[in-house]
Structure 1
Amino acid sequence: MVSVTPNLLWRAGSAYAAAGIMAGAFGAHGLKARGVFADSIASFQTASHYAVFNGLALLLLSLHPRFSAHRFAGPAVAAGTFLFSGSIWALVLDRERFRYLGPVTPMGGVLMIAGYISMAL
């Protein structure tokens, strides 16, 4: 099992923020050229926004004295972001190949929410 450390959370946050920015730029410019419909582009942008927001949250979380070593909060936000944003990106890019990922998106959202709620408890 991977040990959750502030360094791991910092790296995950940095990676998600960067991925979200890059995906957002691609979504704004590259998807239209591929003939992707506006509603799918909006979904792609939503996934990009969530990746950036959660990446920034993980960066902050890594600096917090109590929550940087929390067993559930950081891993839940990181895994939830991967499942939520990653599944949307994959579905927009190739719905036929990744159609089985449809149910993964809400599971990722629930995991992100659970991570944030765990910090409030």
Structure 2
Amino acid sequence: MKNFLKKHAVLLIALSTLFIFLASAFYVFTRPRLIATSISHDGKYTLSFIETESPVFFGSSEVRVLLEKPEKERQELNTEISNDGKYLDEENWNVTWKKDYVEVLLIGEEQGGEDLRFYFIDKLEK
């Protein structure tokens, strides 16, 4: 009976350890990841490039482009980048700050560039 209990205790500990390891790995691979940030020339706005979901092998990465002005304004856009399942980095975006807006070009290996514009709300209201 003791031998039976020892075997089951060892099996329970091994399965619990495996479950914790797999849950941790799943969390690490599925959490949002900040890829890059850019700050406007006047320092008022911050633009963030965030990968919200990465492909397991091949496919598109889901990303979020987030424009923030502290305590005033927040704009975001969710889209996909087709990059052949590769890890996204700063090479997958290009940012150009203009007077009244910021222009973002999202670039993937399997797609043409996706051009996005975020207009500054406080500039439009004046």
Same fold (TM over 0.5): no
Structure with greater helix percent: 1
Question: TM tier, shorter chain?
Answer: under 0.3
TM value normalised by structure 1: 0.26
TM value normalised by structure 2: 0.26
Structure with greater strand percent: 2
